[in-house]
Amino acid sequence: MNQIGIFYGSTTGNTRDVSQKLYEALGESQAEIHDIRETTGSEMAAYEKLIFSVSTWGVGDLQDDWEEFLPTLDTIDFTGKTVAIMGLGDQQNYPDNFVDCMQILAKKVAECGGRIVGETSTEGYVFSASKAVRNRQFLGLVIDEDNQANMTTARIQGWIEILKKAFQ
Ligand SMILES: Cc1cc2nc3c(=O)[nH]c(=O)nc-3n(C[C@H](O)[C@H](O)[C@H](O)COP(=O)(O)O)c2cc1C
């Protein structure tokens, strides 16, 4: 399948809404969007290019629906698949665990043979520690709807330019 599969898990709706914006910005003919709560392993396995959207809960934990889906990821062979991760978090209230959840998914994808793409700069965010930082970059797109919602549209646009190359 040539389209990009966007898979989101969202507790209070932020990740759902931002994923919808991303879907519209990519172009509806370029992508399909799925709530991870209603996704099967074979639906996900049909895509070669995937975007995982996830929010952080607890202290650096995965959003609940993604947590439930995690064992299903183990059943998918990600060899040849390219995965970009968008993570939501709150840098002001969780500065020591900012968007840590992204790393949990990235690690799992790598274990399953997939390739992570779509790293972004940490400039413009204020936090103390994040497991989502690798080689001084975020391992995907980071969105903070709690403190920087006004930057979300521009951040999505910038990421799409990165993804256009990364998904080639
Ligand atoms: C109880 C609670 C725990 C949270 N834990 C974290 C955290 O550890 N790190 C972080 O960056 N954000 C954390 N957040 C912020 C959420 O990830 C953020 O509000 C996100 O936009 C929620 O997205 P959702 O509505 O799609 O689930 C937490 C929020 C709440 C209410």
Give the pLDDT band (50/70/90) at residue 2.
Answer: confident
Residues 6 or more apart whose CB falls under 8 angstroms from that of 163 comprise 26, 51, 84, 117, 118
Q: Ligand 1: which of 57, 145, 151 to mutate, judged by most atoms within 8 Å of the beta carbon?
A: 57
- Write out pLDDT tens, residues 103-113: 999 999 999 99
- Write out pLDDT tens, residues 36-88: 999 999 999 999 999 999 999 999 999 999 999 999 999 999 999 999 999 99
- Cα 79 to ligand 1 centre (Å): 31
- Locate the ligand 1 atom nearest the alpha carbon of residue 59 and give its number: 8
* Domains in the chain: boundaries: 4-166
How many angstroms separate the CA atoms of 14 and 167, rounded? 25
Record the pTM: 0.98
- CATH number of the domain at 4-166, out of 3.40.50.720, 3.30.930.10, 3.40.50.360, 1.20.1440.230? 3.40.50.360
- Locate the ligand 1 atom nearest the alpha carbon of residue 13 and give its number: 25
Average pLDDT over residues 132-160: 98
- Locate the ligand 1 atom nearest the alpha carbon of residue 16 and give its number: 26
Three-class secondary structure of residue 104 per DSSP: helix
